[in-house]
């Protein structure tokens, strides 16, 4: 079992993200990540 603080640190669940997308009428999502060479990347969908 995780605490509320631990859940917040781990981020959102897929269900949470889908709910936020619906509530906020999101049109685009920008995914940001670091590749295996350490360079920051992003892609918008």
Residue range of the domain that includes 38? 4-44
Measured in residues, the chain has a length of 45
pLDDT score of 1 = 54
* Domain count of the fold of the chain: 1
pLDDT score of 12 = 85
Residuewise pLDDT in 10s, the chain (45 residues): 556 666 566 688 899 989 989 999 999 999 999 999 999 999 999
pLDDT score of 2 = 58
**How many Å apart are CA 26 and CA 40, to the nearest integer?**
23
pLDDT score of 40 = 96
Q: Which one, of 40, 23, 21, 22, lies nearest residue 32 by Cα?
A: 40
pLDDT score of 9 = 60
């Amino acid at each position: 079992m995780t605490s509320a603080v631990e859940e917040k640190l781990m981020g959102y669940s897929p269900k949470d993200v889908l709910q936020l997308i619906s509530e906020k009428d999101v049109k685009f999502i920008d995914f940001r990540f670091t590749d295996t060479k350490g360079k920051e990347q992003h892609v918008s969908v």
